[in-house]
Amino acid sequence: MNMTWRWYGEGNDNITLDHIRQIPGVMGIVWSLHDKVAGEVWEMERIQEVADQITAKGFSTAVVESVNVHDDIKIGLPTRDKYIDIYIDTIRKLATVGVKVICYNFMPVFDWTRTELYKELPDGSNALFYEKAAITDNPREMVDRILKGAGQFTMPGWEPERLAKLDELFAAYADVTEDKLFSNLQYFLERIIPVCEEVDIKMAIHPDDPAWPIFGLPRIIRSRDTIRRFLDLVDSPYNGLTFCTGSLGTNPENDLPAMIREFHDRIYFAHIRNVKVFDNGDFIEVSHRGRDGSVDVAEVVKAYHENGYTGYVRPDHGRHLWGEEKNCRPGYGLYDRAMGIMYLLGVWDSLDNVKGAK
Q: Where in the sequence numbering do the catalytic residues fall?
A: 206, 244, 271, 316-317, 332
**Residue 264 carries which side chain, given as an amino acid letter?**
H
Could you tell me the sign of the dihedral formed by the alpha carbons of 287, 293, 298, 301, in that order?
negative
CA distance 332 to 12: 12
Q: What is the CA radius of gyration of the chain?
A: 19
Q: Per residue, what are the HEC states of the chain?
A: CEEEEECCCCCCCCCCHHHHHCCCCCCEEEECCCCCCCCCCCCHHHHHHHHHHHHHCCCEEEEEECCCCCHHHHHCCCCHHHHHHHHHHHHHHHHCCCCCEEEECCCCCCCCCCCEEEEECCCCCEEEEECHHHCCCCCHHHHHHHHHHCCCCCCCCCCHHHHCCHHHHHHHCCCCCHHHHHHHHHHHHHHHHHHHHHHCCEEEECCCCCCCCECCECCCCCCHHHHHHHHHHCCCCCEEEEEEHHHHCCCCCCCHHHHHHHHHHHEEEEEECEEEECCCCCEEEECCCHHHCCCCHHHHHHHHHHCCCCCEEEECCCCECCCHHHHCCCCCCCHHHHHHHHHHHHHHHHHHHHHHHC
44 CB-contact burial (10 Å; exposed 0-12 / middle 13-18 / buried 19+)? middle
